[in-house]
Structure 1
Amino acid sequence: MSTLNIKKVAVLGAGVMGAQIAAHLINARVPVLLFDLSAKEGPKNGIVLKAIENLKKLSPAPLGVKEDAQYIEPANYDDDIEQLKTCDLVIEAIAERMDWKHNLYKKVSPHIAPNAIFASNTSGLSITELSKGFDDELKARFCGVHFFNPPRYMHLVELIPTGQTKPEILDQLETFLTSVIGKGVVRSKDTPNFIANRVGVFLILAVIAEAEKYGLRFDEVDDLTGARLGRAKSATFRTVDVVGLDTMAHVIKTMQDNLPDDPFFSVYKTPPVLEALVKNGARGQKTGAGFYRKEGKAIKVLDPKTAQYVDGGAKANELIDRILKRPPQERFKLLRETDNKQVQFLWAIFRDVFHYIAVHLESIADNARDVDLAIRWGFGWNQGPFESWQAAGWKQIAEWVQQDIDEGKALSNARLPAWVFDTPVAEQGVYTNEGSWSPAARKYEPRSTLPVYAKQVFRAPLVGESSADAKTYGKTLFETEHVRAWIDSDDSDVVILSFHSKMNTIGPGVLDGIAQAIDLAEKDYAALVIWQLTSLQLGAPGGPFSAGANLEEAMPAFMMSGAKGIEPFVKKFQDTMMRVKYANVPVVSAVSGIALGGGCELLLQSAKRVAHVETYMGLVEIGVGLVPAGGGLKETALRAAEAASAVNATSDLLKFLQKPFECAATAKVSTSAFEALAMGYLKLSDTIVFNVHELLDIARKEARALSASGYRPPLRARQIPVAGRSAISTIKASLVNMRDGRFISDHDYLIAGRIAEVMCGGDIEAGSLVDEEWLLALERRAFVELLGTQKTQERIMGMLQTGKPVRN
């Protein structure tokens, strides 16, 4: 396969999607030209400049660091169209109007470079129809590339060819989307709304129909169809509000206009409640009202009978939870047979989606895997619909669905296709060790073998399909109830350590495991990588790397001996972190998701960090009334001293401590790996990865590279200049103003003061030289003393009981 190095991208259209696609390309350090029409007044690039400025204000943030908006290059079609020749990929992202797109294509196509890929970010228009008017050479380089909104966070990108798109174009683009910008790519057939929106929107329409049939409220349905089913917390109607009711109506209209012969065509009717809301200007979250409306602090829900917003809070019957906890086969039997309207509703929506995907699989996708991954990555489901069907017993579910069809209970009278009953699927399901069932090919299709996937040690797992199990993969070197240390093969030279604790918290058992793994690596291997498998459970970015120290494990010692009883645990934590820092082999932390408190301290003292772009890192101990005491404050003091020394400014240490102090004193958490770099938690020498599935592979390669280059641990710092008592006084003076202005509580003032004391080296003269043990002792003392206060104990108990910080 020829390779295409995409060095620069043009995005056509600076609307919501176009601007955010451009932003995420900048996140990935891909230069971007963002085009739109010339402004009628003011600067000719005014439309694009306004869109770029708006990127800094959006929530969730499309940019890893909002200042990076400056790297998006504005352009207009009148003055800058020749610059398209400098781009290797051109993505059109204007409004969903076929005529508008064709008019734009006539303007830009003569200026697209002869080897560039041209793609449309349409959410459902025919790619083949869009390509009409192109010459054969451009048609061969044209395809659909459907990003989901918001592009930075949604893992799914659908790749849609026409009959004339060159296969190597798709391979090149899939490689770029997968590795450079970190997406999960699913190839779709060129049918209306492709895979995810086709199935997802049908399910929303089915939910609306079944909810009306069973007389369920919108908030009641959302409580039933969200996290309880392993789906996005926004469930059904909140999701529609977020997406936009007008957008939803447009996608439904696409299905109405283009699928007249679909056996489910009657389901594609725009629901009257949706039609009425859009007509009245209630388009969801962007207008402040949709199925829900916020009134003050209260969230009201629409009552379709009265068209008024009423108090929300309708919940699922406790019977639902009991049923959903049962094994899949028993669960579905209970859902089908239990006489309760909420239970019957759940069976109905499962039946409806099983019916739909079976009927349409051959027309919309190459195999069942593509449908499941599209729904998981595009709609936030833990498990795709085909996976759920297979886990519950393929043949039995198929018979029940067909029985409902025969009895007129389903949304269509279309029979299940023959392959459901008359192929190996009937006995084995759609997933086997051979791959995923393709009705068109009448065989099980294996996963893609594109070279980019060789970097994914663990690809997104699917129920029933053969894939590496991260919990047992490779050769176990040792395993305890707290950790597992393993290598991927007998000839591997890198030990991998994963935690077993809830949220990968760090207690005495995990600390022992870290020390044991380092001992083992120093004796027989080249390096140690600390990596958690939780980020792969959904086959998409997740986490956590570690939520910090395990306070629950420390509580018995506190109950027996008070605050002093915790000191041995704190000392052990510090000693283990120093063992990480000064190990004779490189210890590389591969991090995604949250790395808070002690998890952040583990990263700070690793030889190197390989971080997924969606890494949320911070020293947050103030939230439980404590100071970081695993070496985190020691490391920030040391890094500040090193930075000051590098510019001969050790007499002005406070300037270099200000930012790390503010981060720790406000429990600031990075909103991306790039912000963690700006905050000083990551270094310029660290590696940022965009695809979470590549994290382990890249971490192992970085660890091997360190080892191969003759890695030696840093020399122990014995003369660290500190800012001393004068800097502490300066910081505390600013804290007094915040306390007296009631921006912080008295206890916040006390904790922040202790953080300042540790970072500045304690009550000694400015410029005094200390070692790491001195700073660690300050951490321990502050930690233990704060633990002895009533307000800190209230914060800890509040966090353990509710998971939320107590502000006292």
Structure 2
Amino acid sequence: MKSGFFIRRAAVLGAGVMGAQIAAHLANAGVQTLLFELPAEGSLRSGGEPTGVLLAGAAEGDSNANVVKALDVLKNLDPAPLASPAKLAIIQPANYADHLDKLRGCDLVIEAIAEKLEWKSDLYRKVAPYLGERAIFASNTSGLSINTLAQAFPEQLRHRFCGIHFFNPPRYMHLVELIASRDTEAAMLDQLETFLVSSLGKGVVRAKDTPSFIANRIGVFSMRATQHHAQTFGLSFDTVDALTGRYLGRPKSATFRTLDVVGLDIFAHVVAMMRETLRDDPWHAMFALPDWFERLVAEGALGQKSKRGVYLKVGKDIHVLDRHSGEYRLSAGKAADEVQNILRERDWTRKLSALHASNHPQAQFLWAVFRDVFHYCAWQLEHIADNARDLDFAMRWGFGWDRGPFEIWQAAGWQQVAGWISEDIAAGRALANVPLPGWALEADRTGVHTQEGSYAPVDASQQPRSTLPVYRRQLFPAQLYGETSQYGETIFETEDARLWHMGDDIAILSFHSKMHTIGSGVLDAIQRAVDEAEAHFSGLVIWQAEPPFSVGANLLQVMQGVREDPPEAGLLGKLKQVASRVKYTVAGGGGVGELLDAAVGNVPRVEEVVAQFQRTTMRLKYAQVPVIAAVDGLAMGGGCEVAIHCARIVATLESYIGLVEIGVGLLPAGGGCKEMALRAAQAAQGGDVFHFLKRNFTQIAMSDVSKSAEMARELGYLRPGDHIVMNRYELLHVAKQEIAALAATAYRPPQAELFPVAGRSALATLKVGIVNMLEGGFISEHDHDIASRIAEVMCGGDVDAGTRVDEQWLLDLERRHFMELLATDKTQARIEHMLKHSKPLRN
């Protein structure tokens, strides 16, 4: 960070749901964090007098018991707020009675107490005397006025005050809205944005100080418009969810399931706040909740947290509230075939045109929702955001939309859609009778996003992106419809992969395959890329423009020459066509449904593919220039094997890494077992190899996947020299910097050496444990067989403990056991089950 500004220590005021999780994410970033809460009742104050009644389970005299309890809750939340349980140690409990003086050492203080103006103001007055002169103080609020809150601060501190709005859960939601007050120092806001973007990995949007800011303002209106039109067109809640989820590029939870996840009481509070503060909004009537909604809240049916809301789980069945009867019934809503065919259309011009033209109630409902959201966004843009880019990114990053509303409008044909909206406004069909703003009706307008920038209503210009230095680290930032990115200069390109560079001496390899699966074409490309890098470049980065890194090997493509068809056919469709005429069905390293069919007589070919995979991973490991795996998202099975053989891994925090082949009845055969056995030997440093091996064996045999890059390090997939990146858009920059650093220090590949294996005595010990698991009913007979084979490979086979072998010894064992498992009926049954149900079979 520039200008000598660093956030070494932070404090979060308020240990509620949001405060504790914000503290957790600061800890994920390695920031020492104080988490404040009221002192526990019953604790002893400095004067020795008790303050009241102790919290249940709190230690007598522990004034931090409230925070300790909040931290205990953090450990059990799902999804986990902490990237690793070990990160909890970075958070220090504190309370307002004893520890305010510790605020003097904090560079950033985030207030995250309840959304009550008077409570926040009282707290500001209490803590202000303890703040450092250069400390940033930010209020985490979802909609309270930042200028009003600032009045509670001493005048001399107001320039260091701003609003900050994390979305829940803070670890996973990319959006943070940053809101300045009239007195906020511009340079301070830039410093905070830089920290949020690079250190916490966030997508920052600058919002105006208006009620609910940008994302909630548009998102809540969208949900209310959807609820309103559902009732108008007589659609059930589950039917609406079938229509408004992934078909529209929205989260699977769609509309009413999202309400249950958020909490009906939370949504009701936000709507009530908007009703109170947006009295001049032309859509003000929308900020009132229907009777059925208020009845659920009154009954305490608040959604997921109360186990009843719009939906109710009865046994294994999902029931949904019937709006008319007030009773629950089995959920069975779905899109009508006619409408489903429209929604499958990927081209927004044809999709929206078909919805507008259709007489089907479901299609009319969807057009009405789009129309009113577009109308609302256009009218409100100048009031709530600096430009259209900020509004679209707010919806993408805060509500999980694939495309923002302006992007969809632009993709569907701006002029045509604007005309339809205007017609509906004139006919009284829209939710408000105000016209579209003049800029939206300009005759030459084709959209709001261009290569030069996005439309800014304040001066009717195309406003370019931020020029803050931190964004130079994002070589390929999130892209809007209407923008294009040039991914460097091509070195070579095949159907399976592309090798390219950005005008420097670092080569970059990206896969073209679906889910970045690894078939023979990708393996050939990797080896060719290493050749090119050794001949002409200082290093090679394996990087994908979009996650995942790779879900594993795609041996179907290798064996049958099947290429991915359009989505309506797809890989699984091909498999169904050929399944009846093959003898062997195996999965090669993906563990997530990327399957292969090996025709009768082609078993030698399968073995050659496995050998090719092994040669490729060894080529990566012993390349004469450094190869960096830039991992984002899933790196499973063969994808994990590729990554762990590279000189370094640079991984985003949200990287999920594991060797999961056992799920389809196989073992890792691309060097995964070998490499983890070798790492155990290296960790032992001449001592007891088995002590280190048993952990690595267990995680492969149990198909363990890391729940973050931090946990991947704990599992041994990331080494001490590997790096974790908080912002996925900085991943390529950091990977290239790592190449430069390695090249600058005269990189040499590791030397191939003999290493000790645990041998038959360790194998016997592991097999005893496997038998105990079988007899205890924890694993099946086939699990026992696979685990025993994994143990044999990782222990080095039937040899004495301490026998020194080379890597090829273990690779040969991997390949032999892979082929033997591939021929078994139970492995084939697992793969068939994965094909049909997309989940593992434990037979």
Alignment match of 1:710 (pick from 746, 753, 777): 746
What is the deviation of 1:162?
1.0
Q: Distance in 2 between matches of 1:273 and 1:139?
A: 44
Q: How far is the alpha carbon of 1:410 from its aligned partner? A: 0.8
Give the corresponding residue for 2:19: 18
Distance of 1:505 and 1:262 partners within structure 2: 50
Query: Hey, what's the Cα distance between the residues in 2 that align with 1:464 and 1:456?
Result: 19
1:690-717 residue CA offsets vs partner (Å, 9 max, x unmatched):
0000000100110111111100111112
1:330, distance to aligned residue in structure 2 (A): 2.2
For residue 518 of structure 2, what is the aligned residue in structure 1?
506
Once residues 427 and 123 of structure 1 are traced to their aligned partners in structure 2, the CA distance between those partners, rounded to angstroms, is: 33
Following the alignment from structure 2 to structure 1, what is the Cα–Cα distance between the partners of residues 742 and 352? Answer: 52
Which residue of 472, 489, 493 corresponds with 1:479? 493
User: How much does 1:427 deviate?
Assistant: 2.1
**Rounded Cα–Cα distance in structure 2 between residues aligned with 1:327 and 1:747:** 46
Q: Relative to structure 1, is the Cα distance of residues 677 and 517 closer, same or farther in structure 2, using a 3 angstrom cutoff?
A: same
Partner of 1:107: 126
CA distance in 2, matches of 1:329, 1:510: 35
- Listed one character per residue, the Cα deviations across residues 382-403 of structure 1 (whole Å, up to 9, x for unaligned) are 1000000011111111111111
Q: Aligned match of 2:655 in 607, 615, 624?
A: 615
SS at match of 1:702: helix
Moved more, 554-563 or 228-237: 554-563
Matching residue's letter, 1:478: F
Does the residue aligned with 1:290 lie in a helix, a strand or coil?
Answer: coil
- Please, which of 97, 102, 118 is the counterpart of residue 83 of structure 1? 102
Alignment deviations for residues 710-735 of structure 1 (CA, whole Å, 9 cap, x no partner): 00111112x21111111111111111
Distance 1:515 1:135 in 2: 64
Out of 348, 372, 375, the residue aligned to residue 395 of structure 2 is: 375
- Contact 2:559/2:605 (CA < 8 Å) preserved in 1? no
* Correspondences of 1:253-332 after superposition (within 5 Å): 253-324=272-343, 325=345, 327-332=347-352
Q: How does 1:225-624 map to 2 (within 5 A)?
A: 225-324=244-343, 325=345, 327-422=347-442, 426-465=444-483, 467-469=484-486, 473-489=487-503, 492-534=504-546, 543-556=547-560, 558-561=598-601, 563-624=603-664
Is 1:681 aligned to 2:700, yes or no? Answer: no
Which residues of structure 2 form unaligned runs of 5+? 42-53, 55-59, 561-596
Q: Look up the SS of the partner of 1:74 in the other structure.
A: strand
The aligned residue for residue 690 of structure 2 is 654
Answer yes or no: is 1:4 the counterpart of 2:5. yes
What is the CA distance between 1:326 and its match in structure 2? 5.4
Paired AA for residue 363 in structure 2: V
Aligned to 2:772: 737
Q: Distance in 2 between matches of 1:100 and 1:494?
A: 54
**Kept in 1: contact 2:30–2:90 (CA 8 A):** no
CA distance in 1, matches of 2:479, 2:350: 23
* Distance (Å, rounded) in 1 between the aligned partners of 2:4 and 2:746: 33
Q: 1:481-511 CA deviation, whole Å, 9 max, x = no partner?
A: 000000012xx11000000111101111000
Aligned-pair Cα RMSD in Å: 1.2
1:76 maps to a residue whose letter is N
TM-superposed CA distance for 1:565, in Å, is 3.4
Q: Residue 603 of structure 1: CA displacement?
A: 1.0
Residue 671 of structure 1 corresponds to 707
Q: Is the 8 A contact 1:18 1:94 kept in 2?
A: yes
> Is the contact between residue 55 and residue 66 of structure 1 (CA under 8 Å) also seen in structure 2?
no
State, as a whole percentage, how many aligned pairs show the same letter: 56
Q: Which runs of 5+ in 1 are unaligned?
A: 535-542
Query: C-alpha separation between the residues in 1 aligned to 2:5 and 2:266?
Result: 34
Query: Given the alignment of the two structures, is residue 62 of structure 1 paired with residue 63 of structure 2, yes or no?
Result: no
Q: What amino acid does structure 1 have at the position aligned with 2:165?
A: H
Tell me the residue number matched to 1:538: none
Report the counterpart of residue 692 of structure 1 in structure 2: 728
After TM superposition, give the deviation of residue 411 of structure 1 in Å.
0.8
Contact map agreement 2:495 2:512 (CA 8 A) in 1: yes
Look up the match of 2:824.
789
Separation in 2 of the partners of 1:700 and 1:525?
12
User: Could you tell me how far 1:136 is from its partner in structure 2?
Assistant: 2.8
Deviations 1:324-364 (A, max 9, x none): 30522222221111010100011000001001001100000
Q: Note the 1:173-212 alignment, pairs <5 A.
A: 173-212=192-231
Contact 1:395 1:421 in 2 (8 A): yes
C-alpha displacement of 1:555: 4.4
User: How far, CA to CA, are the matches of 2:34 and 2:720 in structure 1?
Assistant: 26
Distance of 2:222 and 2:5 partners within structure 1: 38
Is this contact kept in 2: 1:564–1:784, CA < 8 A? no
Matched letter for residue 501 of structure 2: I
**Structure 2 residue matching 1:590: 3-state secondary structure:** strand
- For 2:346 and 2:797, the matched residues in 1 are separated by 57
Q: CA shift at 1:795, angstroms?
A: 1.4
**What does residue 537 of structure 1 align with?**
none
**CA deviation vs aligned residue, 1:72-113 (integer Å, no higher than 9, x gap):** 100000100011110001000001111111111111111111
Number of aligned residue pairs: give it. Answer: 787
Contact map agreement 2:32 2:91 (CA 8 A) in 1: yes
Distance in 2 (alpha carbons) for counterparts of 1:524 and 1:326: 41
Q: Which amino acid aligns with 2:641?
A: E
Aligned residues of 2:339 and 2:360 also touching (Cα < 8 A)? no
Contact kept, 8 Å, 1:563 with 1:787, in 2: the verdict is no
Partner of 2:576: none
How far apart are residue 532 of structure 1 and its match?
0.7
Distance 1:179 1:413 in 2: 44
Counterpart of 2:134 in 1: which secondary structure? coil
Partners of 1:797 and 1:118 in 2: CA distance:
57
Counterpart residue number, 2:814:
779
| Native 8 Å contact 1:39 1:46 kept in 2 | yes
Which range moved further: 429-438 or 627-636? 429-438
Counterpart CA distance in 2 for 1:661 and 1:564 is: 28
State the Cα distance separating 1:766 from its structure 2 match: 1.1
Of the three residues 718, 743, 759, the one matched with 2:794 is: 759
CA distances 1:781-804 after superposition (whole Å, capped 9, x unpaired): 000000010111111232234322
Kindly indicate whether the alpha-carbon contact (under 8 Å) linking 1:661 and 1:755 is maintained by their aligned counterparts in 2: yes
Query: Using the alignment, how far apart are the partners of 1:554 and 1:615 within structure 2?
Result: 27
Of stretches 553-562 and 616-625 in structure 1, the one that deviates more from structure 2 is 553-562
In the superposition, the TM-score normalised over structure 1's length comes to: 0.96
